Structure 1
Amino acid sequence: MERKEFLKRGFSSLLGVAAIVPVIGACSNTSVEPTTTNTGTSTSTGSSNGSSSSNCTVTPSETEGPFPTKVPANFVRQDIRSDRTGVAFTMTITIKNSSSNCAGLSGAIVDIWHCDKDGYYSEYGGTGMQSVNFTTVDFLRGRQTTDANGLVTFTSIFPGWYSGRAPHIHVHIYNSAGKSLLVTQIAFPYDISNIVYTTAQSYGYTKGVQDTKNERDNVFSDSVANELGTVAGSISAGYTLTHTIVVSA
């Protein structure tokens, strides 16, 4: 089954997670349309959720499929690049607890994974879902534990895209005892993604403009307001994503 068809049918029926029903056009175009087309330093502001105790809605739950990390405890590492090349990318993610006035959640376990610049995931492949076989490698997957402020940081490369999905990062958060708290995803501002995908050919980004924007994506179309990361930087210097995820612990 092709990935795009999988997305249309709803990932969650395969993974035992509640299916996601897209609400096309739920977010206005102004939140994702490009505001710049140059290759210099640029910044896009994402979600403000979790910024205070009065703005502390639990981040929407999303599917972890179709390529979840098989044994995430094996990948306790801050640098998740392995052999993958691309535009430098740092992720700074803060986990906050809605049950504690949106204070940072210390000791939470945070797993992340995303595709490479060509749209491929490690640990999978050789099927209709992903034709290239990467079942024997484990790039772009990692686990960290939050500090006293609820913060984790990962070093990676700017993710690519694949047909039917807007660019995204998967995140699975557990408490310190290993209980699952939330599975979610992080969206990217379209203007930044557009710069990378159309001007970073020398870094290997050769697919061109993504075919699905956030407002047409069946994961983000009804929830991007609370799942959009803030991204700043440039192709030459690299980009930094900052994002807050709110859980109920």
Structure 2
Amino acid sequence: MNDPHDPRLPLTPELPEEDNDDEMVGRLLSRRSALRLLGLGGGAAALTAGGVLAQRGGPPPPPGGAEGMGGAGGTSAGTSGATGLPGCVVRPAMTEGPYFVEGEPRRSDLRKDSKTGKVVSGVPLTLDFVTSRVAVGGCTPRAGVLIDVWHCDALGNYSGVSGSAGDFLRGSQVTNAQGKASFTTIYPGWYQGRAIHIHFKLRPLNASGKATGEFTSQLFFPETVNAAVLTRAPYSQKGKADTPNAQDGIYRNGGSQLLLKVTGDPVKGYRATFDVGLNIG
């Protein structure tokens, strides 16, 4: 029988993982609408991929969330999918899941547990966030956005939840004037029923440091890279992941728009950049 306190378990009885897998935050814009706002209406007519621009107010989400606006499509410049489009155009929101912890330490390097001093083992990963505000004619850098990042270790364990101590592989930063924040971490492992992924939360801050909005989602990795990483220690202790992207209930609701394009190798490590437009707050 599964131990309900095991931090490796992806679900809890009170919070089924798929309940809010396509929950949207604020006003929804289709990719076509976002591109029209950017002054790229000519190219937008050929695009049907759905997504969201997190923006407070506006009409309620249409039935089916982003899927109801044309289905999950590829991303634009800076990740995978359609090319030649601003990377900040649209992204789908996804469930927070049961493992978020408020008040994560402000730091760029997530590998060290601040309570024990132990450094978590795994393939190095540098994750760069670029936040923008989508405006008429283009995307402008969005400074002052608090970014929380959390994910499991190489063996599928989260820190600070379900009886697990510590704060490894958790942290937050505020974007700089260029809308950027970079995290040094490890490539996440896998746990039962979920594809390999990273959670993140974006919260614009006002002059007093108070959050004025919130956008939560998840990032995924190409299967070829996952396979290369899982052959190395300590990941190899668990063997092959039981849930590829295509079989993950969260990924199927827009995950292709959150699929990272990574560079590097499993020996020296990887780097990935994620661009996102954030028009809340």
Give the secondary structure class of the aligned counterpart of 1:102. Answer: strand
Counterpart residue type for residue 174 of structure 1: R
Distance 1:219 1:12 in 2: 6
Give the secondary structure class of the aligned counterpart of 2:237. Answer: coil
* Larger-gyration structure (1/2): 2
Give the secondary structure class of the aligned counterpart of 1:205. Answer: helix
Are residues 149 and 49 of structure 1, via their aligned partners in 2, closer, same or farther at CA, if it must alter by over 3 Å?
farther
Contact 2:11 2:17 in 1 (8 A): no
How far 1:57 moved relative to its partner? 3.6
Distance 1:59 1:222 in 2: 11
Counterpart residue type for residue 213 of structure 1: P
How far 1:241 moved relative to its partner? 1.7
How far 1:88 moved relative to its partner? 1.1
1:215 maps to 246
Deviations 1:23-63 (A, max 9, x none): 8xx779xx9xxxxxxxxxxxx953569942xx654311111
Distance 1:4 1:79 in 2: 25
Q: Which moved more, 1:78-87 or 1:90-99?
A: 90-99
Matched, 1:46 2:80: yes
Contact 1:47 1:243 in 2 (8 A): no
Match of 2:264 among 216, 233, 244: 233
Contact 1:49 1:57 in 2 (8 A): no
Counterpart residue type for residue 80 of structure 2: G
Contact 2:144 2:205 in 1 (8 A): yes
Counterpart residue type for residue 267 of structure 2: S
1:69 maps to 101
Counterparts in 2 of 1:1-249, with a 5 A limit?
1=4, 3=9, 6=12, 10-11=16-17, 46=80, 51-52=85-86, 56-72=88-104, 75-82=105-112, 83-99=119-135, 101-125=138-162, 133-134=163-164, 136-177=165-206, 178-197=211-230, 199-201=231-233, 203-249=234-280
Looking at both structures, which has the greater relative contact order when contacts are Cα pairs under 8 Å and sequence separation is at least 6?
1
Are residues 89 and 96 of structure 1, via their aligned partners in 2, closer, same or farther at CA, if it must alter by over 3 Å?
same
Contact 1:107 1:176 in 2 (8 A): yes
Counterpart residue type for residue 61 of structure 1: A
Question: Mind listing any 5+ residue stretches in structure 1 that lack a counterpart?
Answer: 32-43, 126-132
Contact 2:79 2:273 in 1 (8 A): no
How far 1:70 moved relative to its partner? 2.9
Deviations 1:61-118 (A, max 9, x none): 111111002323xx10000111211111111111122346322211111111000000
Give the secondary structure class of the aligned counterpart of 2:214. Answer: strand
Counterpart residue type for residue 76 of structure 1: R
Distance 1:79 1:163 in 2: 27
1:37 maps to none
How far 1:230 moved relative to its partner? 1.1
Return the TM-score normalized by structure 2: 0.67
Give the secondary structure class of the aligned counterpart of 2:236. Answer: coil
Give the secondary structure class of the aligned counterpart of 1:180. Answer: coil
Contact 1:79 1:155 in 2 (8 A): yes
Return the TM-score normalized by structure 1: 0.75
Distance 1:204 1:214 in 2: 18
Question: Mind listing any 5+ residue stretches in structure 2 that lack a counterpart?
Answer: 25-63, 113-118
